[in-house]
Amino acid sequence: MTGPGYLIDTTQNTVAATETQSVAYSTGCYLIREVSCEFCENKLGVTYVVAPDEKQEYKVGKFLLGADRLILPPGVTHPKAK
């Protein structure tokens, strides 16, 4: 991911890859799996498998979805949108 994202607990209609990848983010190196749409297979973000230290362990099992990858329902705007 290269832009803002949402860290969330659960997703619907998504599939996590079986393969893990090692990635370096600004908060450390993580073991992740890519997450895609169950229907169209577009990549939406990642799910954390292993965190680098105790301070980052709260992310394990959660999903980081790219804000630019999501389409909100008609009439809905994100609260942080300008």
CA distances from 56 to 4, 27, 65, 70, 78 (A): 18, 8, 17, 25, 26
For the whole model, what pTM was predicted?
A: 0.82
What's the confidence (pLDDT) of residue 64? 94
| Largest Cα–Cα separation, the chain | 40
Going by pLDDT thresholds of 50, 70 and 90, the confidence category of residue 75 is confident
What's the confidence (pLDDT) of residue 71? 77
pLDDT single digits (tens) 14-62: 999 999 999 998 889 999 999 999 998 999 999 999 999 999 999 999 9
Q: For the chain, what are the domain ranges?
A: 5-69
What's the confidence (pLDDT) of residue 69? 87
C-alpha 77/C-alpha 62 separation (Å) is: 23
What's the confidence (pLDDT) of residue 2? 64
